[in-house]
Structure 1
């Protein structure tokens, strides 16, 4: 009986840690996808980089929570002479369930501008 109590407690702790790792990776991958989609919209010939910020915020709000979409910025840069739209998302790192320190995750989405 005592062995079962000790082993089950250890197994529950390991399960919680693996579950939390999975949740963190899911949030990170979703943020990367939303940032990339926002960059693709902001890089279109008929759009501005700021349009990508609004799209990324909408997608993050629909996919995860608007809490993760508080700090989304857009900029342009050049890679080997080619203009690129960059959408950067800084979001909380989920450490205890969906809660954690702010600005723990920093993900970037990039897309080549169509007008060149």
Structure 2
């Protein structure tokens, strides 16, 4: 019986760690996609860099929450030899569920300016 409790506890901790890792990767992928989508949106003919920031913030807020959309910056950049719009998002790394003051991750999305 003691063996079952020890092994069961270990397997539970391992399963929760895998779920948490999947959540961190999901949040990172959402941030990358929102930054890239915001950059593409901001380079349209009738849009401004502020529109790019708002688009990224809307996508992040709708998917993982407003806490992850607090630090979004938009700037002109030279990416792969072409002038581009860069949307950079800095957000907390979720440590337990979506709660996470433990550090930050920074992602960026680029789109060529036409």
TM-score range, shorter chain: over 0.9
Match of 1:74 in 2: 74
2: CA distance, partners of 1:80 / 1:60 = 26
Match of 1:11 in 2: 11
Match of 2:111 in 1: 111
1:48 aligns with 2:48: yes
Does structure 1 conserve the Cα–Cα contact (< 8 Å) formed by 2:95 and 2:102? Answer: no
Does structure 2 conserve the Cα–Cα contact (< 8 Å) formed by 1:90 and 1:103? Answer: no
Of 95-104 and 66-75, more deviation after overlay is shown by 95-104
Equivalent residue runs for 1:77-116 within 5 Å:
77-79=77-79, 81-101=81-101, 104-114=104-114
Equivalent residue runs for 1:51-62 within 5 Å:
51-62=51-62
Give the alignment's TM-score, normalised by structure 1. 0.93
Does structure 2 conserve the Cα–Cα contact (< 8 Å) formed by 1:91 and 1:102? Answer: no
Instruction: For residue 79 of structure 1, report the CA deviation from its aligned partner.
Output: 3.2
Of 18-27 and 38-47, more deviation after overlay is shown by 38-47
Question: What 5-or-longer segments of structure 1 have no aligned partner?
Answer: none
- How many residues are aligned here? 114
Give the alignment's TM-score, normalised by structure 2. 0.94
Instruction: For residue 20 of structure 1, report the CA deviation from its aligned partner.
Output: 0.4
Distance 1:17 1:33, change over 3 A: same
SS at match of 2:86: strand
Match of 1:21 in 2: 21
Alpha-carbon RMSD across the aligned residues, in angstroms, is 1.3
